[in-house]
Structure 1
Amino acid sequence: MKKNSLELKIYKTIFNMLLIVAIVVIGMIAHKYIGENENEKESQDAVEAFSNIDFSEITEESKEQLEYKGYKVIGIVKIPKINIEYPILEIGNIDPESAKEPMKISVIKYWGEKVNDYGNLSLAGHNNKSGTMFGKTKKLSEGDIVELSDLEGKTIQYSIYNIFTTSPNDVNILLPRDEHVREVTLITCTNGNKQRLILKAQEI
């Protein structure tokens, strides 16, 4: 009888511990999704504000002062097929530590030329499970359209011509296929952050 009572206590203790762990995990997941949704709303507000700018009247000095949450805004990336649109943030030096905070709130310029300049512009965004940022880029196919709007008020369409995965250390993805062609490279993590999903697009 005592043995059964002891076993029951052990089972109850284990159950309670598992319940606590489950509550903590659920809380962490909920907190992450709430944070992503809040960032999503704020980034869409930034996109709307950018869209309302009259670029014919804005000065070069004013362009330098366009910011979102303390980071310089250099354009907008829009992908109609998966219904995403984000400010492109420029953060200066690119390293995992300095990119951590801005990538929580929007897409960043990872490497390359100015938005809509000739050559390759590489943009990085998180592969959020909620589908925000670049979380739905896996649904894209060759021929799908990426739109970039710049600080001159110009919007250019790019057609995806190559989709592949590679290692995080592959720097060849940053190189332009042709320096005389406008190109954009979208970068996001995949396979548990062990690889990078790459989408290459060039001006139509």
Structure 2
Amino acid sequence: MSIGSIKTYGVDLNEKGGFVISAHNFRGRTPFFYPVRNLKDGDLIYISDNLGRKMTYTVYSVSRYVSPEDTSYLVHTEDYHLTIVTCENGGKSRIVVRAHIVE
């Protein structure tokens, strides 16, 4: 996870049911998820799977200062759903971004 993201929970990226990915948010070292802190409702997220299939999601929720013990975002959904989780505040809390697929 120090050089990329990891699937934390859920189905495969191109399946219904919800997909959660996490990555560290290092400032000054491979800031893979550092831009997540700037996402806001309505922003678009583009993701490709290992087969080159591209999906577009639109952000509908950004929660900041989420406790590391809070796992309420690990839920199964009935649609194509993406959740991105990264650390903030020196690792004391998390940013949780939720997005729906654009069809």
TM norm. shorter chain > 0.5: yes
Give the aligned partner of residue 145 of structure 1. Answer: 44
Specify which structure has the higher proportion of strand.
2
1:116–1:148 CA contact under 8 A, matched in 2: no
Counterparts of 2:93 and 2:52 in 1: how far apart (Å)? 35
**For residues 46-57 of structure 1, what are the structure 2 equivalents within 5 Å?**
none
User: Is 2:18 the counterpart of 1:120?
Assistant: yes
Pairing of 1:31-180 with structure 2 (within 5 A):
103-130=1-28, 132-165=31-64, 166-176=66-76, 179-180=77-78
Q: Is the 8 A contact 1:161 1:202 kept in 2?
A: yes
SS of structure 2 residue aligned to 1:174: coil
CA distance in 2: counterparts of 1:141 and 1:151, whole angstroms: 27
1:21 alignment counterpart = none
Q: Between Structure 1 and Structure 2, which shows a larger proportion of helix residues? A: 1
**Alignment identity in percent?**
30
1:148: how far off?
Answer: 2.0
TM-score normalised to structure 2 length: 0.87
Please give the per-residue CA displacement for 1:4-58, whole angstroms capped at 9, x wherever unaligned. xxxxxxxxxxxxxxxxxxxxxxxxxxxxxxxxxxxxxxxxxxxxxxxxxxxxxxx
Contact 1:111 1:123 in 2 (8 A): yes
| Cα drift, residue 137 of structure 1 | 1.1
Q: 1:181 aligns with which of 79, 88, 95?
A: 79
Cα distance between partner residues in 1 of 2:33 and 2:53: 23
Q: How far apart are the structure 1 equivalents of 2:70 and 2:93?
A: 10
Q: How many aligned residue pairs are there? A: 100
Q: Runs (4+) of structure 1 moved beyond 3 Å?
A: none
Partners of 1:137 and 1:153 lie apart in 2 by: 22
CA distance in 2, matches of 1:153, 1:136: 23
Q: TM-score, normalised by structure 1?
A: 0.46
Residue aligning to 1:193: 91
Q: Which has the higher contact order (CA 8 A, sep 6+)?
A: 2
Unmatched tracts of structure 2, length 5 or more: none
Alignment RMSD: 1.5
